[in-house]
A and B are shown apart, each in its own frame.
Chain A
Amino acid sequence: MQIGYYPGCSQEGTAKEYDKSLREVLKVLDVDPTEINDWSCCGATSAHVTSHKLSLALSARNLALAEKQGLKEIFAPCAACYNRLLTSKNELQEHPEQKYEIETIIEEKINNIPEIYNIVNFFQKIGKDKIAEKKKIDLKNFKAACYYGCLLVRPSGINSDDSEQPNSMEEIVKATGAQTIDWNFKLECCGAAHSIARQDIVVDLSKKILDDAIKHGANVIVVACPMCHSNLDMRQQNIKSKFSDFKEIPVLYLSEILGLALGFDKKQLGIDTHFIEFNLPVRNDVQEVSA
């Protein structure tokens, strides 16, 4: 399967292991991702809080490049990139005058905007059956809390999943043999970009999320957003120094948990670079599926 790939800035920085694990997993699932040539910023965070037009134009440029490259479908593993690209696509399609203005700014014509997938949609497209077919290890001792964060299933209405009670990530995770838990804070705010300037906010918000997942029986959290991952994984140290009774919980990217099921080890997937050490859930540990 051919697909356009928009990595976004995180995949080359804080979320290198997301990129690494994703590429490994896609290889096994017979997907050949084509990176968009000369891709640039999606317009998230600093752009969209300062200028709406700028945020649209930045995303539109990437969409125009993808179109020029002949890509009919693209996927963006970062939830913020996905959200920006989708929002921009929607606005360009809904408002022809705005499209004209943006085209003038980016000096590119936009005709057929490619179909945009987030990582969950994209794995849905690949199919649960395909994942189950290629599965080497059954992750039955995993009790995963799927965390969507604020961006993955929004904006509501133009997104395919239910933006208040989403269930699409659970469906994919279950294909690895893992159990998923029902919990309250799948969509709750992790503190997002306050991670840098207001760590105290992030510590409080992320703790709430982690506590709720643990309380509902999770032994691993699965995310599909680099920002979520950095807040939930990296900030656990800060949480621990503020709340001494806090219990740690590993946080995996969706691609990493899939990678484990497909037989890769922690190092191949970059899980060894996480702040919270990940050990395979005990109780007879993870078992090989007999062929």
Chain B
Amino acid sequence: MKIGVFICHCGENIGRTVDCARVSKAAGFFPGVVHSVDYKYMCSDPGQNLIKQAIKDFKLDGVVVGSCSPHMHEKTFRKAVADAGVNPFLCEIANLREHVSWVHEDIDVATDKAIDLIRFAVEKVKRNTPLTTIKVPVTKRTLVIGGGISGIQAALDVANAGYEVVLVEKEPSIGGHMSQLSETFPTLDCSQCILTPRMVEVYQHPKIKLLTYSEVEKVEGFIGNFKVTIRKKARYVDDTKCTGCGDCMQKCPIKKKALSEFDEQLTTRSAIYVPFPQAVPNIPVIDTSVCTYFKTGKCSMCKKVCGRDAIFFEQEDQMLTEEIGAIIMATGYKLYTIDKKPEDSEIKGYGEYGYGKYKDVIDGLQFERIASASGPTSGEFMRPSDGKTPKKIVFIQCVGSRDESKGFSYCSKICCMYTAKHAMLYKHKVHDGEAYVFYMDIRSGGKMYEEFVRRAIEEDGVKYIRGRVSRIYEEDGKYIVKGEDTLAGVPITIDADMVVLATAMVAQPDASKLAQTVGIPYDKYGYFVEVHPKLRPVESSSGGIFLAGACHSPRDIPDSVAMASAAAAKAMVLFGSDMLEREPTIALVNENLCAGCFYCKKVCAYNAIEIKQIKDKQGNLIKEVAFVNSGLCQGCGTCNATCPSKSIELIGYTDEQIYAEISALM
């Protein structure tokens, strides 16, 4: 084998602490090396040409590049090698930057270590074999999980590009939290007015298959080739017959027992219900936990009044399987509840604000419902306890956010803006009302955001107080809010009629379970994690699974929509070619040696090991052996390390290659 060694200075990054000339000179004497040079920027065009030219001139069939991490430029150099007619897998990278120059100071020591690493790589490349990339087909269908604004945007973008979409929403209607909002910052346009046309577009889109009241149960397969099992929960209403006339809901005798989820527990709903009048699809579901028929069998009023005979008490959950190429996660958020201290939660609760005790201490989403024209008060400001117009409202920001001792350490990002909006909406309708906002900092980064907050303060006269509230208690129908003005350095007491807590945004309670089902990482809060915070913000580390909206981190509508479009674009990039190329460095079973113990199957994190039956010509079973699904295998090598009989190896990283590397260092 004729090996060429190319040492990169990386400007001064490597050159400053490694004597590159000495490294290349030493490498020239290694057995098998026929050519060795150093150069200032090997990744540059002239640098790459240097490699290509040397391959031609010296008829090289193995290349070692001493440069930065293979994460940076392995692809670059392998491509250069391939361009010159040598199999790209015959090119190895020795990491002289992250592993040497950046972590050492002494030039002599660093140079010696660099020489060792080159020797190491040379021994490996001698044992490399030409490999070809694996090609797998791509199913050009996208699954979007979650039908809030992020899911809607992602689904529409992908569908409008001509690809099929399956949109799964666990609630009876799509629309998410955005459908509950009154007006949106910083423009104060009506949330439903801009959202509902989108919802209808989803419903009517020929490329979108909408599955509401459904949940993802199982995800198998891999990028481009997922098989997804979806549970379509029983609505007890035949969606092919129902016209959404609403007669059943009107006649349902259960009116008070169930609290409306859409109105954030401020009102009640019937047992058979649609969450809100503009629901998509406009098909009701029966809440079996309160329905008299399901509890005692004594009522079937809805069935009697339905002119279309659409009520179907015997309906059962349905399991659907869908072939999917890409998955977009858009499961959104929940508000941290002020009702009661959550069980088994790291959050300690805010008893000092009277959670669940005072009816007029509400959270941000409840305030949205009160402010909304479609809400329980038709947009009139009335407090929940007695329906009186509150003349003094205190808004408290950062309840649960930025609070390491009692809540979460992160900033929920949207509260500064929506609190300013709340105070503004209130002042617009109750002119003689007073609005106080307790804040820590006003974080209003965003287009026209700071201007919006200034408008609340300067034009609408909202009183901002920098400080925290220590306590709220009720006295003679007023809520006594005790706080501190930290700028004036004085304690403050306000006798408010109503208090609005900007509680933290938290991940959906079942987000971690869903992440395990789908196979993507999540952080300690339950938010899904991206591969790279700056350069790959919408991709999960599992191939073909993308992230959109508040399931990734707290974010507002514009950010969620932008992220959803980005995730949609990533899915479409995947659909740009018919075949998908994958690294060939995966595990391979030596079927002669394999004893069929399947320890490898137990340890494989990607479910890539299958059981293969070996039969003789008559069809009698001889033995069972492990078999690697090349689509699923990620080449992690866990099976390789586990196998007791050494009969499973990682292509490109065989035991022989690894031992050769180690010997080179001895």
Q: List B344-394 residues whose CB lies under 8 Å from chain A.
A: 348-352, 354-355, 357
Instruction: Verify B348–A165 contact, CB threshold 8 A.
Output: no
Docked-complex contact A184 and B473, CB < 8 angstroms: yes
The answer to whether A157 touches B348 (Cβ under 8 A) is: yes
Residue of A163, A164, A184, A185 with most chain B CB atoms under a 10 A cut-off? A164
Measured between C-beta atoms, what is the minimum distance from B392 to chain A in Å? 19
- 20 CB-based A-B contacts, threshold 8 Å: A156-B348, A157-B348, A157-B405, A162-B341, A162-B349, A162-B351, A163-B351, A164-B349, A164-B350, A164-B351, A164-B352, A165-B351, A165-B352, A165-B354, A165-B355, A165-B357, A184-B473, A184-B474, A184-B475, A185-B473
Contacts of B474 in A (CB 8 A): 184
Q: Within 8 Å CB of B351, what residues of A?
A: 162-165
Q: How long is the Cα–Cα vector from A163 to B475 in the complex, in angstroms?
A: 21
Cα distance, A30 to B351, chains bound together (Å): 36
Given contacts A156-B348, A162-B341, A184-B473, list 7 more A-B pairs with CB under 8 A.
A157-B348, A163-B351, A164-B350, A165-B357, A184-B474, A184-B475, A185-B473
Interface residue tally on B, bucketed by range? 10 to 19
Q: A185 to B357: give the CA distance in the assembly, Å.
A: 15
A184–B354 alpha-carbon span in the complex (Å): 10
Q: Chain B residues with Cβ under 8 A from A165's Cβ?
A: 351-352, 354-355, 357
- Name A142-175 residues within 8 Å CB distance of B: 156-157, 162-165
Which A positions have Cβ atoms within 8 angstroms of B? 156-157, 162-165, 184-185
Mark interface residues in B586-610 (1 if CB within 8 Å of A CB, else 0): 0000000000000000000000000
Cβ contacts under 8 Å, B341 to chain A: 162
Across-interface contacts of A163 in B (CB, < 8 A): 351
Interface centre among A156, A157, A184, A185 (most CB of B within 10 A): A184
- 116-172 of chain B: CB within 8 A of chain A: none
User: What CA separation (Å) do A96 and B354 show in the bound complex?
Assistant: 38
A147 CB, min distance to chain B CBs, angstroms: 15
Q: State A163–B406 Cα separation when bound (angstroms).
A: 11
Give the A-B pair count, Cβ closer than 8 A. 20
Interchain nearest-CB distance for A165 vs B (Å): 4
Tell me, in angstroms, the Cα distance from A163 to B351 when the chains sit together: 8
Return chain A residues, CB-CB under 8 Å to B350. Answer: 164
- Which of B350, B351, B355, B357 has the most CB atoms of chain A within a 10 A radius of its CB? B351
Q: Cα distance A90–B475 when bound, in Å?
A: 37
Residue of B nearest to A185 (CB): B473
Chain B, Cβ-Cβ closest to A212:
B475
B481 CB to nearest A CB, Å: 13
Residues of B within 8 A of A156 (CB): 348
Separation of A165 and B349 alpha carbons in the complex (Å): 10
Residues of the A chain whose Cβ atoms lie less than 8 Å from the Cβ of B475? 184
Complex alpha-carbon distance, A197 and B349, angstroms: 36
**B565 → A minimal CB distance (Å):** 43
Question: Which residue of B has the minimal Cβ distance to A182?
Answer: B357
Residues of chain A within 8 A (CB-CB) of B473 are 184-185
Per the bound structure, the CA–CA distance linking A166 and B238 in Å amounts to 49
CA distance A14 to B333 in the complex (A): 55
Give Cα distance in the complex from A66 to B16, angstroms. Answer: 64
Contacts of A184 in B (CB 8 A): 473-475
- Complex CA–CA separation, A157 to B349 (angstroms): 11
Looking at the assembled complex, report how far the CB atom of A19 sits from the nearest CB atom of chain B, in whole angstroms: 32
In the bound complex, what is the Cα–Cα distance between A165 and B355 (angstroms)? Answer: 9
Per the bound structure, the CA–CA distance linking A162 and B343 in Å amounts to 12
CB-defined contacts of A164 to chain B, threshold 8 Å: 349-352
Task: With both chains docked as a complex, state the minimum distance between the C-beta of A192 and any C-beta of chain B, in angstroms.
Answer: 17
A185–B474 alpha-carbon span in the complex (Å): 11
A184 to B355, CA, bound (A): 14
Residues of A within 8 A of B355 (CB): 165
**Cβ proximity bits B405-441 to A, threshold 8 Å, 1 near / 0 not:** 1000000000000000000000000000000000000
* Complex CA distance for A184 and B476, rounded to whole angstroms: 12
Q: B517 to nearest A CB, angstroms?
A: 34
Tell me the smallest distance from the CB of A185 to a CB of chain B, in Å.
Answer: 8
B350 to chain A minimum Cβ distance, whole angstroms, is: 7
B505 to A: closest C-beta gap in Å: 22
Counting from the closest, the 7 A-B pairs by CB-CB distance are A164-B351, A165-B351, A184-B473, A164-B352, A162-B351, A156-B348, A162-B341
| Distance of B180 from chain A, by nearest CB (Å) | 28
Question: What is the distance, in angstroms, from B2's C-beta to the closest C-beta of chain A?
Answer: 61
**In the complex the two chains form, what is the Cα distance from A174 to B473 in whole Å?**
24
Q: What residues of chain A lie closer than 8 Å to B357, measured between beta carbons?
A: 165
Q: How far is the CA of A165 from the CA of B354 in the complex (A)?
A: 8
Q: Chain B: which residue is nearest A165 at the CB level? A: B351
A137 to B352 CA separation, bound complex (whole angstroms): 35
- Interchain CA distance A157-B405 in the complex, whole Å: 9
Task: Report Cα–Cα, A157/B473, bound state, in Å.
Answer: 22
A166 to chain B, nearest CB (A): 8
**Measured CA separation A157–B348 after assembly (Å):** 8
In whole angstroms, what is the CA distance A261 to B348 when docked?
35
